[in-house]
Amino acid sequence: MKFVDAHVHLSDEEYAEDLDEIIAEAKKSNVVALVSNSMDLETSVGSLKLSERYPGMVYAALGVHPWNVQNLTDAELKRVEELISEERARKNKALVAIGEIGLDYKYTRVWDKQLMVFNEMLNLAEKLDLPVIIHSRGTTSQIVDMLPSFNLKKVLLHWFSHPLSALKKALEHGYYITEGPPTAYSNGIREVVRRTPLTNLLTETDGPVRYWKNPFKGKRTTPAFIPTVVKAVAEVKGLEVEEVAAQIVKNFEAFFRVKLN
């Protein structure tokens, strides 16, 4: 059986000390690929470096997260955009998406700037024909309504929680959803998984985000959590774990346009 982590922040400094160990552990758990999502320029450069250090195992998503918009300078935004364009121009196969980008309603004091940056990132994704990985806390309905005005071929809504009306619309547009460790314990997330066709679902850890409920309590979040997430998805779907794992690997390949070993 093979597993994938479509959303983890591997270039986060929390992981910097023991990357080899984390990758080895992931492989031991049969996690065969992961997408290192980025927050800003520094972590975008970091994600790219990791994709070179662990070829075929680590893929990179580059971008500016809404949490980092407040201190973002025009020069940094421009440099992130250049970096994405340059890597795309040299046909770097490890660059698989623009992410993590989006809007977060908790940070309304920088609302206009969030919108500006998100728009820039979506325009770039459209221009370079790259998939997008979206953070939409408190903004899911708004984002699902604004996305059709862009010509985006692949959209992934990460950690989709609510509302279910936006889930319905998202699925009608063919968007993908990622869910992670909460699938094992949250009824709300399990309901989202229940309503999402398996062909539109991907698994994630969002590490280093920590989970405070069992079976994850007290543990550092790494891609090695993924088999537990897939088991929870299989439980919700009433399917065999093998079948779910195989479909999610297929989804990963289709969404990110890669072929896994």
Contact residues for Zn ion (CB under 5 A)?
100, 206
Nearer to Zn ion, 87 or 100 (CB): 100
**Of 205 and 228, CB closest to Zn ion:** 205
CB of 7 to Zn ion, least distance (A): 6
Q: For Zn ion, which residue has the nearest CB?
A: 206
**Which sign, positive or negative, has the C-alpha torsion 127, 130, 132, 133?**
negative
CB of 37 to Zn ion, least distance (A): 5
Nearer to Zn ion, 162 or 237 (CB): 162
C-alpha distances (whole Å) from 28 to each of 24, 32, 223, 224, 225 are: 6, 9, 11, 8, 12
To Zn ion, the closest distance from the beta carbon of 68 in angstroms equals: 12
Nearer to Zn ion (CB atom), residue 23 or residue 180: 180
CA gap 18, 260 in Å, rounded: 24
- Residue closer to Zn ion, measured from CB, 209 or 241: 209
Distance CA 133, CA 135 (A): 7
Q: How far is the CB of 178 from Zn ion (least distance, A)?
A: 9
Is the peptide bond prior to 100 cis by the omega test (within 30 degrees of 0)?
Answer: yes
Q: How many residues comprise the chain?
A: 261
- Cα(160)–Cα(168) distance, integer angstroms: 12
Is there a contact between 176 and 155 (Cβ–Cβ < 8 Å)?
Answer: yes
Question: What angle (nearest 5°) sits at the alpha carbon of residue 87, between those of residues 121 and 55?
Answer: 115
**What's the min distance (Å) between Cβ of 30 and Zn ion?**
23
